[in-house]
Chains A and B, each alone.
Chain A
Amino acid sequence: MNYLELLKLASPEAVVTVTALIVLAIGLMSARGARLCSGIAAAGLLFAVAAVLELPERATLFHGMLVITPLTSLFKIICLTLAVFTVILARSDKTSRHHGEYLALVLLATIGLMLLVGSEELLMIFIGLELTGLSLYVMTAFDKTDIRSAEAGLKYFLFGSTASAFTLFGLSFIYGTAGATGLAAIGEKLTAASVQPLLFAGIIMTLVGFAFKIAAAPFHLWAPDAYQGAPVPSAAFIASGSKVASFVVLGKIVLVGFGPVHGSAAWHAMVAGWMPVLAVLAALSILIGNLVALAQSNVRRLLAYSAVAHAGYTLLGLVAGGRDGFSATLFYTTVYAFTLVGAFGVVAIVKRQSGSDRETGGDDLTNFSALWSRSPLLAGCMSIFMLSLAGLPPLAGFFGKFYLFSAALRAGENHGLLWLVALALFGSLISLYYYLIVLKVIFVDEAPPSTPTSTISVDLLQRISLSILAGVVVFFGIMPGTLLTRIIASVQ
C-alpha cells in the first residue's frame, strides 16, 4: 500500500476536497465572487463524477475502510449529482453574502456522503456521518437574518448530536461483542445462535442513530423545523443527498454486518432481531408522517412530514431483506431524492417571488395559489414531483412503490409482511389527499388578492435544471429498467 495508490482510489474525494478549499479561498478573497464560486463548485463536482468513472471496478483499502464496488461508485455519482443540483439551487438564494463558505460546506457534506457510501468499516462510517452531520448543522443555521433558520439549526444540532452519541455507544457494544469493526468481519462473528443482550442493545442504539438520519418516526421531530427553517438548498440537500447515503450505509450495516441476527417481522411469527425493529420504525413513520402531514399548511413542513412517511416506505425494502429488498430500497430512495430536490427547487423560486411575505415565510400553501397562471413551467414541474411522491403512474414513484411492496410481500414466508404492505398502502392512500391539495391550490384555486399576480421569472439555468429533474422523474417512471439494471447489478 503506497500513498499514490490511495490517492488514486480516493481521487473523487480528493477532487471535492480541493474544490472546497478553492471555493473557500475565493469566497474569502472577494465578496462578490458568488457566481464564480458556484461555477467552480459545480465544475469540481462534475470533475469528481468523471473521477468516479475512472476508478477500478473493485478495490478494498485498509480492511474495508475504503471500498470500491459498482454499488459505491453508482451512489457516489448519485450523491455528486444531487450536490450539483443543490449548488445550482443555492445560486440565487439569500446565502449570497457568504456564498463561498456556504458552498464549501455543501462540498464538505458531499465528501462525508461519499465516505459513508464508500466504506464498510464502522469507524469510517461514523466519521462520514459526523462530517456530513456537522456540515449540515451549519448549513441549516446559515441564514443569519432569519430566526427560524437559527432555531432549525439548533434543534437539528441537538437532536443530531444525541443521535450520534447513541450510534457511537452502540457501535462500541458491537465492537465489544464481535471484536471487529469491518462489516464483513462482524457478519462472520455474529451468529443467530449466540445472541447476547449486549449485542441487541448495540444494534438498537445504532439503529436509533440511523433512524434519526433518515427521519424515521419517532426520531423525526427535528425534520419539520429543519425543512422549514433552513435555507432552501440546505433543506433540499438534507432531504436528498443525506438520505440516500444514509439508506445505502444502513442497508450495508444491517444486511452485511448484522446479517445473521435479522430475526423476522412476519405477522404472528416475529423473531427478535433488527427486522422487527425496522418494521416498527417503518410502521410508525408511515402512520405518523402521513397523518400529521394532513394538517400542514406550509409546503416545506408538508414535505417534511411526507419525508417521514417516505422513510417508512423505504425501510420496507430493508425489512424484506435480501438482494431484492435492498435494490428496491435503493431505487426508491434515489428516485425520491431527485423528486425532492426538484420540489424544493420550485419552493425556492416561489418563496423568492413572494419573499416580502414575512408572516408565512413565502412558502405557505397560499403562496402557491394559481401558480399555473404565474408560471406554467413551475406548476407543471411541481405537479410531476407531487404526483410522483404520491406514487401515481407513469412516474418514477409509482414504479418504486410497486417494486418495494412486491419485494416486501415476496420476502416473508406465506406473505408474512402483508400487514406492513397493507399499512403502507393505507398510508399512501392518505398521502394522496394532501398531495392532491397542493395540486388543487396550484391549479384550481384563485389567487387571493395579497399574492403577487405577475408572472414569475425563472432564469435559464433553473429552468433547465428543473426540467431535467422533472424529466428524470418521468423517465425513470417510464423506463425504470435503465436505473434498475444498474442497481440490481451492483447489489450482490
Chain B
Amino acid sequence: MIAWTIYITFAGAVVLLFAPRFLTRWIALASTVAAFATSLIAFFQMEIVDLTYFKTIVRVPWVPMQGMEYHLAVDGISLTLVLVTGLTAVSAVLFSWDVEHRQNEFFFWLLLVVGGSYGVFLSADLFLLFVFYELVIVPKYFLIAIWGSTNKEYGAMKLTLYSFFGGALVFIGIIAAYVSAGSLDLQELAQFQFTPQLQSWVFPVLFLGFAVLAGIWPLHTWAPTGHVAAPTAGSMLLAGIVMKLGAYAALRVAINLFPQGFQMWKTWIAVLAVIGIVYAAAVALRQRDLKFVIGYSSVSHMGFVLLGLATANVLGVSGAVLQMFSHGVIGALLFAIAGRMVYRRTHTRDLDELSILGLSRAMPFAAFAFVIASAASMGIPGFSGFAAEITILIGTWKTYPLAVWITGLGMVLVAAFTLRALRKSFFGDSQSTDSSSYEPITLAEKLGAGLLIFATLAIGLYPRLLLDRIVPAVEAMRFLNP
C-alpha cells in the first residue's frame, strides 16, 4: 500500500493541471497529506521483521526483452526516507499557502518533485530508480527559476547542470552494471559478483554521481546558491528531500552493489566528508545572508551523512540514515522560517539588517520555532540531530578516530554559526519597538512548523522508533561482509 504514495502524488499533479484556481492549494494539500498518511499507516502497520530486507511490494514486467521491471520494494531505510518526504511535502505546501503567481503550475512542479522522490526511495529496479531520479531535476529548475528570488536564474541553472552532471555519471555506472550483470533488478544485482576490476571504476563513478546531489565537497556549490535562489517550498524540498535522494541512492546502489569498490574508496569518501563538514561550517560563519548560512549548514550536515556511510559499519550507516531523516526535518524547518516567516515579511535576509529589527518581539512564534530549529541543528540532546550525529560519531570512532576529532571541531563551528545567526536574526539590538507592523503568522505556517518541530522532538526523544527499523535493514546489506 505504500506504493500509493507515488500514485496519489502524481495523480494530484495531473489534476492540478486542469483544476480551477481556487482549488489548487487544497488539491496540493490533500494529495500530500494523503500520501503522508499512507506512509504513516504503512509505518505503523508493517511488521519490523518485514522491514529487515528489501521486500517487494509491486512487481510488473515493463520492458521484458530488456529486463526492465516496474518493481517497488521497501525496507526500513526506504520507509524512513518516505516518511521524511511526506513530512517535508506537507509542510512545504503549508508554507506555500501565499503563492499567488501561476499557482497551478507551482504546485504541479512541486508535486512532481515529491512524487519522483517517493519513486526513488521505493524503486527496486535500477532503471526505474534512475527514471524517478532524473524526473525530479527539471521541476526543480522551474520551481527556482520562476518563483525564486536572489539571482534565481543563475542558481536554478547551476543546480540543474550539477544535477545533470551527476546524472550523467550515474548513467554510465548504471549501464556498466547492467551490461556486466545482465540484470537491472536491485535484489538480483545485490547478489551478483562483479569483478574487482569493474568495481574499482564503476563504484567511484556511481558514488560521485549520486553524491553530487548529496552535496559532497567540492561539488557542493550548487547547494547554497540553489537554496538561496529557491522559493521557500523549493528550499525546503531541496534540503528536506532532494539532497537525500543522492545520499540514499549512493547507499542503495553504489555501496550495496559494489562492496569491494566501496572498500577501496571509502577512505577517500571519509576525507571528503570531513572536509565538507568543517569547510561548510567555516564558510557559514562568514555569511551575511540568512539563507546562505542555512544553505552551508545543509552541506555541513550532509557531510555527516557521507561520513556515516564511509564508516562501513552498522552503527555509522544507520546513523547516516537517521541523519538523513533528521536533517530533512530540521533543514526544512530552518528554510521555512528564514524564507516564509522572516523574508516574506521583512523583505530582507541580511543578518545585519535583521539584527536591528528586533524580530523576537515582533514575531514571537517565529523566534520560538527558530530557537528550536537551531538547537536541533546544533545537535543539542533531545532533538533528532543529536541522536543521529552521536550514532555516526560512535560508528566513525571504530574506523577513523582521527575523523572524529576533526569533526568535533566542525561541530563547534556549527554551534558557532548557528548561534551567530540566531542572535543576529532574532535577538539583535532592537532599535524599533514597533511590533505590529508585520502581518501575523498564519495558521498554515504554525501547522507546518508544528509538524516539523514535533517530528524532530519525537525522534530526538525516542530514536528507536526509527532505529529499530533502520538497523536490521542496514545489517542485511551486503557491504558489511563482502
Binding site for B on A (CB under 8 A): 387, 392-394, 398-399, 402-403, 405-406, 409-410, 415, 418, 421-422, 425-426, 428-429, 432-433, 436, 439-440, 443-444, 480-481, 484-485, 488
Measured between C-beta atoms, what is the minimum distance from B414 to chain A in Å?
34
Please state if A485 and B134 are interface contacts (CB–CB under 8 Å).
no
**Residues of B within 8 Å of A, CB-based: how many?**
30
Binding site for A on B (CB under 8 A): 62-66, 127, 130-132, 134-135, 137-138, 141-142, 145-146, 153, 157, 160-161, 164-165, 168, 171-172, 175-176, 178-179
B residues near A436, Cβ cutoff 8 Å: 138, 141, 157, 160
Please state if A398 and B157 are interface contacts (CB–CB under 8 Å).
no
Q: Main secondary structure on chain B at its contact with chain A?
A: helix
Please state if B168 and A429 are interface contacts (CB–CB under 8 Å).
yes
Please state if B175 and A409 are interface contacts (CB–CB under 8 Å).
yes
Measured between C-beta atoms, what is the minimum distance from A481 to chain B in Å?
5
Please state if A484 and B65 are interface contacts (CB–CB under 8 Å).
yes
B residues near A415, Cβ cutoff 8 Å: 176, 179
B residues near A444, Cβ cutoff 8 Å: 142, 145-146, 153
* Complex Cα–Cα for A443 and B147 (A): 11
Please state if B134 and A398 are interface contacts (CB–CB under 8 Å).
yes
Which residue of chain B has its CB nearest to the CB of A407? B179
Please state if A484 and B63 are interface contacts (CB–CB under 8 Å).
yes
Please state if A406 and B175 are interface contacts (CB–CB under 8 Å).
yes
With contacts A429-B164, A432-B164 taken as known, whether A402 is within 8 angstroms of B65 at the C-beta atoms is no
* Complex Cα–Cα for A481 and B70 (A): 13
Please state if A432 and B66 are interface contacts (CB–CB under 8 Å).
no
With contacts A421-B175, A444-B142 taken as known, whether A398 is within 8 angstroms of B64 at the C-beta atoms is no
B residues near A433, Cβ cutoff 8 Å: 157, 161
Cross-interface CB contact of A428 among B142, B153, B168, cutoff 8 Å: B168
Please state if B64 and A393 are interface contacts (CB–CB under 8 Å).
no
Cross-interface CB contact of B179 among A406, A426, A480, cutoff 8 Å: A406
- Most chain A beta carbons < 10 A, residue from B131, B137, B160: B131
Q: What are 6 inter-chain pairs, A to B, with CB distance below 8 A?
A: A398-B134, A403-B66, A409-B176, A425-B168, A428-B168, A440-B157
Please state if B146 and A443 are interface contacts (CB–CB under 8 Å).
yes
Please state if B175 and A426 are interface contacts (CB–CB under 8 Å).
no
Please state if A426 and B168 are interface contacts (CB–CB under 8 Å).
yes
Measured between C-beta atoms, what is the minimum distance from A313 to chain B in Å?
13
Measured between C-beta atoms, what is the minimum distance from B109 to chain A in Å?
10
Measured between C-beta atoms, what is the minimum distance from B115 to chain A in Å?
12
Measured between C-beta atoms, what is the minimum distance from A416 to chain B in Å?
12
* Complex Cα–Cα for A415 and B131 (A): 24
Please state if B175 and A402 are interface contacts (CB–CB under 8 Å).
yes
With contacts A406-B179, A422-B172, A428-B168 taken as known, whether A394 is within 8 angstroms of B135 at the C-beta atoms is yes
Which residue of chain A has its CB nearest to the CB of B182? A410
Measured between C-beta atoms, what is the minimum distance from B83 to chain A in Å?
25
Measured between C-beta atoms, what is the minimum distance from B104 to chain A in Å?
10
What would 7 more interface pairs be, CB under 8 Å, given A436-B138, A443-B146? A402-B127, A405-B171, A421-B172, A429-B168, A444-B145, A444-B153, A484-B65
* Complex Cα–Cα for A247 and B171 (A): 25
Which residue of chain B has its CB nearest to the CB of A432? B164
A residues near B171, Cβ cutoff 8 Å: 402, 405, 425
Which residue of chain A has its CB nearest to the CB of B134? A393
Cross-interface CB contact of B142 among A422, A443, A480, cutoff 8 Å: A443
With contacts A480-B63, A481-B63, A488-B65 taken as known, whether A387 is within 8 angstroms of B138 at the C-beta atoms is yes
Cross-interface CB contact of B161 among A425, A432, A480, cutoff 8 Å: A432
Please state if B131 and A481 are interface contacts (CB–CB under 8 Å).
no
A residues near B160, Cβ cutoff 8 Å: 432, 436
Please state if A440 and B153 are interface contacts (CB–CB under 8 Å).
yes
- Most chain A beta carbons < 10 A, residue from B138, B141, B165, B178: B138
4 shortest interchain CB distances as A-B pairs = A393-B131, A481-B63, A444-B145, A410-B179
* Complex Cα–Cα for A259 and B142 (A): 48
- Most chain A beta carbons < 10 A, residue from B63, B164, B175, B178: B175
A residues near B179, Cβ cutoff 8 Å: 406, 409-410, 415
Which residue of chain B has its CB nearest to the CB of A409? B179
* Complex Cα–Cα for A392 and B127 (A): 13
* Complex Cα–Cα for A405 and B64 (A): 18
Please state if A393 and B135 are interface contacts (CB–CB under 8 Å).
yes
A residues near B135, Cβ cutoff 8 Å: 392-394
* Complex Cα–Cα for A393 and B138 (A): 10
Please state if B175 and A481 are interface contacts (CB–CB under 8 Å).
no
Measured between C-beta atoms, what is the minimum distance from A469 to chain B in Å?
19
B residues near A481, Cβ cutoff 8 Å: 62-65
Please state if A392 and B146 are interface contacts (CB–CB under 8 Å).
no
With contacts A392-B138, A425-B168 taken as known, whether A405 is within 8 angstroms of B66 at the C-beta atoms is no
Measured between C-beta atoms, what is the minimum distance from B407 to chain A in Å?
34
Please state if B172 and A425 are interface contacts (CB–CB under 8 Å).
yes
Measured between C-beta atoms, what is the minimum distance from B279 to chain A in Å?
26
A residues near B141, Cβ cutoff 8 Å: 436, 439
Please state if A398 and B65 are interface contacts (CB–CB under 8 Å).
no
Which residue of chain B has its CB nearest to the CB of A429? B168
* Complex Cα–Cα for A90 and B176 (A): 44
Which residue of chain B has its CB nearest to the CB of A399? B63
Please state if A394 and B62 are interface contacts (CB–CB under 8 Å).
no
Measured between C-beta atoms, what is the minimum distance from B189 to chain A in Å?
14
* Complex Cα–Cα for A393 and B137 (A): 10
* Complex Cα–Cα for A481 and B178 (A): 18
Please state if B145 and A392 are interface contacts (CB–CB under 8 Å).
no
